[in-house]
A and B are shown apart, each in its own frame.
Chain A
Amino acid sequence: MTPRRIELLGDGIENPGNALAMVHAARMYGAECRFRDTRGLAADPSLAGAGFSPIADEALQHGPARRIAFDNLSGAAEVYSFRPGPESVVMMGNERRGLSYECRRLATDAVQIPMLSRRINCLNVAAASAVALHYLSHVHVGPMSVGGHPARRRPDLLIVGRSDHVELGSALRSAAAFGWERVLLEDRGGVWFDCDRVVRSEGRAAARRGRNDIRLVRCPPDARFDYPDVVVVTAAGAGPPLHRVSLAGGPGQLVVLADEGAGALVESEYARLGRHVRVATLDLPRAMEAYHFRLLATVALAEVARQVGRRQPGERPARPTLPVYDRGLARAATQAGELVRFSDLLAY
């Protein structure tokens, strides 16, 4: 089998943090990352020595034959089952404006990540790059599952935030975009709930909290749960690859994404979450040069979303149950109340 050669192209990326994360994502998958630098990124000091590599428009035209516009364009194929060919370049657009007209004109294919949220319709550009590289160059999987009642297949999600508020916020944005309405959040590093105003604002901005109505359930670090099945996702380890693990177990299953930037995962620590704890890895081809939780979390969430699937196109969601107010007679309580002393309650 001919090895695939894939390049990542950032078109008009304006945030140096995103550009740096894209470079790291590309290296994680053994790809080259270049930038069509229309925003003056090359002059940014934070990218000095980081392998920032600009590309001119002319060189782009003479690049690989398959030029993939990675954007939610009309008619775009879904990323999961797309086969890019032996040589291709994946073009990622500007954070706010998407791909430029020039890149769209050059594109031979259009690919997108299916979004399941009505309010968050895109991912962080670096996180989307990681998802693109993961599915286009690394794993071979089928298309997104399609069928009724995907909510019944969606597992609960526990995110353990430990080191970086922006990475955590971006992961929460991805969770909302992939259709989660509720996330359990263990804020061990104090980067989300108990933090100063600046950290708080930056984290919420990364999560797009203005539009992101995902419900965060705060969990203490020693919280105990009784999920029948718990899948802990790690960047590397001895477990099976994530795409070979069943992740559509519904509310009886818990998927755990832990920020391992502050240290490696201690597997035994998660025994408190459920009866059967398994570890699954992202099976990355190379070690991460710099840890970005948002990249790993988004790839894992994309895989869960692929397995959970979506409704048939055109299928309408179930109608909500309408409220009903009954009027009737009430019977007397069958048993008298029991007096309980406060000291008894304390001793209980």
Chain B
Amino acid sequence: MPRIVARPARRGFLHPATRRDIARALALVGPEAAYGLRSIELVHAPPATSDGLPPLGRFCVPGRILLFEQPRPPWRVPVSLAAETVGILERSGAVVVEDARIGVTIVQWPGDSLRDFMIVEVLLHEIGHHVLQHHKGKRIARIARTRDHEAFARAFAARYRQAWLQRDGRE
């Protein structure tokens, strides 16, 4: 099992997924997928991108996953989000409202939806990157085009999405 390292979030931020949530997600995907993972770290967010969009997570080859702290909801994003991104957010339970007049998108996260979003769309997604990378054995080389890598990670997260949401009999 990988080490789970948590660094307390700064004021105004939070880590939506706790160590316990991460351990449950790892149990869900099983030891085969987690094999080779060295650490999962809850860390401070790097500076926001030039778009002002909050970074979510990062997979560093080999075997290191970073989950960044997130602003406390609701999020106020100073740009219009891509339709695909809005679809992902809404599928995770977010309420996305765009104010076209001032060019701001407000994302509400009711209940545990932000935690589920971080687990499914970020953690499991990054574990998908790890599975593909580790399976090839060339652990420090880029083993697929970025587009293919992302496609595999998306498919991996989608595969476990239902299992995560149904783990407590919620859906």
Contacts and interface: CB of A to CB of B under 8 A. Distances in A.
Interface of A: 320, 322-333
Contacts of B89: 329
B148 to A, nearest CB: 12
Contact of A324 (B60, B80, B83, B150): B60
Interface of B: 49, 51, 53-62, 77, 79-85, 89, 121-122, 125-126, 129, 133, 140-142, 146, 149-150, 153
Nearest to B59: A325
A330 B77 CA distance: 11
The 5 closest A-B pairs by CB, nearest first: A332-B80, A330-B82, A331-B79, A327-B57, A325-B59
Nearest to A319: B140
B83 A329 contact: no
A328 B54 contact: yes
B55 A323 contact: no
Given A325-B58, A327-B56, 8 more contacts: A327-B55, A327-B58, A328-B49, A328-B55, A329-B85, A331-B53, A331-B79, A331-B85
A322 B61 CA distance: 6
Contacts of A320: 140-141
A323 B142 contact: yes
A322 B141 CA distance: 7
Nearest to A330: B82
Contacts of B55: 326-328
Contacts of A327: 55-59, 121-122, 125-126
Contact of B80 (A322, A326, A331): A331
17 contacts: A323-B133, A323-B141, A324-B59, A324-B60, A325-B58, A325-B126, A325-B149, A327-B55, A327-B122, A327-B126, A328-B55, A329-B56, A329-B89, A330-B84, A330-B85, A331-B51, A333-B82
B77 A329 contact: yes
A323 to B, nearest CB: 4
Contacts of B81: 329-332
B31 to A, nearest CB: 22
A325 B154 CA distance: 12
B60 A322 contact: yes
A327 B55 CA distance: 7
B32 to A, nearest CB: 20
B46 to A, nearest CB: 9
Contacts of B60: 322, 324
Nearest to B128: A325
Given A328-B49, A332-B82, A323 B58 contact: no
Given A331-B79, A331-B81, A322 B54 contact: no
B140 A325 contact: no
A324 B129 CA distance: 10
A330 B146 CA distance: 16
Nearest to B60: A324
Contacts of A325: 58-59, 126, 129, 146, 149-150, 153
Contacts of A324: 58-61
B36 to A, nearest CB: 15
Contacts of A329: 53-54, 56, 77, 81, 85, 89
